[in-house]
Amino acid sequence: MSIIEFPERVALDMASYIDASPSPYHACDTSAERLVAGGFTEINELETWTEVPERGFVRRGGSLFAWYFPAELDPATGFRIAGAHTDSPNLRIKPRPDTGAAGFRQLGVEVYGGVLLNSWLDRDLGISGRAFVSDGPHLVERHFKVDRPILRVPQLAIHLDRAIGEKGLKLDKQQHMAPVMAVGDSKEGAFAEFLAQELGIAPGAIKSYDAMVHDLTPSGLLGTEKDMLAAPRLDNLCSSYCALTALIETAAKGPSHPLAVTLFDHEEVGSASRGGADGPLLGDVTERLILARGGDRDSYLRSIQDSICVSADMAHAVHPNYVDRHEPDHHIHLNGGPVIKVNANQRYATEAETEALFQMACERAGVPFQKWVMKTNMACGSTIGPLTAAKHGMRTVDVGCAQLSMHSARELCGVKDPAWMVSALGEMFLMN
């Protein structure tokens, strides 16, 4: 039975995936749980890869690479890859965060990525991330998720900002975004004590952390027809979910090409990291897999030229209150199907061949598709697509599901689009 017959079920399953994944590290944890349930085995990058499982995955920080690669395939056969990213714009807690004023304890935060600052005001916030703690002579990575309201960034009352209606809200990242966590004077070490209590360890055992805040409102259906999904981090956990689901489902069909999903970290801040799309992860793992299958460097280079990567990231649906901000001849809509993103200046990696291939995949899946370009007199954003194409010389197409409120603490997409994207990616995985 086709997945596109149950779009609401898919959307709610995606909502569970997103709610379980407030940080890139939790996104990898959640993805790993689903992969293991689908018959995939995690392996260590530090080990020698003389034999690798047909279905496997590795993690590198907040990034994950999963594959399906049967031993009987020619090691020079090209991969069918779907790439997405695990990070989203948010507020990240500073190394020495304990601050405060006017009788409040606060946390110092750093803005990560292109945050819509106003969307984080007056929300009940939790904390998630990872900590590195000492366990005797060893350093251990521990993930934490505090899903209860412990922080809030209170907005200034309109009585104290009478000009806000005419001049608009103006927020300073340093001065106005520090959340309150308790009433009382600032106390050095208060956050470390809180985090240690959550982890069940002594405060001195915490050596470092990557911590961030998240909105606690659960993802859910929205609208009188329940045809929209409101959720945090749709950009880009929606794409991560779709890619992962398509991989698990398609691997069972015995495709004629090796398959892979790359979930990168740090896309929102440029991708230049060991686990980012501008780093070595994709090349490292694909080459090691090919060598483990009996290939050599020439096999790897031949495989890259035979490969196709679908860079999956979200797309801007036409905003009903700002129609003038969109290219008039390329309007895209929620529940309009996967969006093929094109940019003549290579902000997207789509070229005519890959555009046609993904269009054919949608047609084979029986799902609608849309094509999008940025309005000519406005700057266009970018994705992992151009980095993948330029770094590896791999044919790449940029696609995504349409959404509103991109980079808000809470975003909006169509209920039908995730199921359609899963189906389209599945057909791309099966494409010769």
User: Are 273 and 372 in a shared domain?
Assistant: yes
User: Are 416 and 323 in a shared domain?
Assistant: yes
**Residue 117: inside a domain, yes or no?**
yes
**Residue 162: inside a domain, yes or no?**
yes
Res 5: pLDDT: 82
pLDDT score of 4 more than 80:
no
Res 292: pLDDT: 96
User: Are 71 and 96 in a shared domain?
Assistant: no
Tens of pLDDT, residues 314-344: 999 999 999 999 999 999 999 999 999 999 9
Res 1: pLDDT: 53
User: Are 306 and 402 in a shared domain?
Assistant: yes
Res 193: pLDDT: 96
Tens of pLDDT, residues 152-203: 999 999 999 988 988 899 999 999 999 999 999 998 999 999 999 999 999 9
CA 310 → CA 18, 31, 187, 334, 395, distances in Å?
21, 18, 49, 20, 9
User: Are 365 and 296 in a shared domain?
Assistant: yes
The residue from 215, 241, 264 where one domain ends is 215
Number of domains in the chain: 2
pLDDT score of 246 more than 90:
yes
Could you give the count of Cα atoms lying within 13 Å of 8 in the half-sphere of its Cβ? 6
**Residue 372: inside a domain, yes or no?**
yes
User: Are 186 and 310 in a shared domain?
Assistant: no
Looking at residues 293-322, what average pLDDT do you find? 97
**Residue 360: inside a domain, yes or no?**
yes
Q: Could you tell me which residues come within 8 angstroms of residue 424 by beta carbon, excluding any fewer than 6 positions away? A: 338, 358, 361, 362, 365, 367, 369, 399
User: Are 249 and 376 in a shared domain?
Assistant: yes
Query: What is the chain's mean pLDDT, rounded?
Result: 96
User: Are 50 and 75 in a shared domain?
Assistant: yes
Res 367: pLDDT: 97
User: Are 347 and 305 in a shared domain?
Assistant: yes
User: Are 255 and 322 in a shared domain?
Assistant: yes
Supply the CATH number for residue 98's domain: 2.30.250.10
**Residue 134: inside a domain, yes or no?**
yes
Q: Which of 22-26, 104-108, 250-254, 366-370 shows the lowest per-residue confidence on average (mean pLDDT)?
A: 250-254
**Residue 223: inside a domain, yes or no?**
no
Distance CA 333, CA 312 (A): 17
The residue from 215, 246, 281 where one domain ends is 215
Looking at residues 404-423, what average pLDDT do you find? 98
User: Are 291 and 411 in a shared domain?
Assistant: yes
Provide the 3-class DSSP secondary structure of residue 127.
strand
User: Strand ranges (DSSP E) for 224-383?
Assistant: 228-231, 259-264, 308-312, 315-316, 339-341, 370-372
Question: Position 260: which residue type?
Answer: A
**Residue 227: inside a domain, yes or no?**
no
**Residue 144: inside a domain, yes or no?**
yes
| Domain extent at residue 25 | 3-88+232-429
Distance CA 217, CA 355 (A): 37
Tens of pLDDT, residues 44-89: 999 999 989 999 999 999 999 999 999 999 999 999 999 999 999 9
Distance CA 432, CA 428 (A): 9
User: Are 247 and 338 in a shared domain?
Assistant: yes
The residue from 183, 215, 247 where one domain ends is 215
Tens of pLDDT, residues 206-245: 999 999 999 999 999 999 999 999 999 999 999 999 999 9
Supply the CATH number for residue 362's domain: 3.40.630.10
Tens of pLDDT, residues 118-136: 999 999 999 999 999 999 8
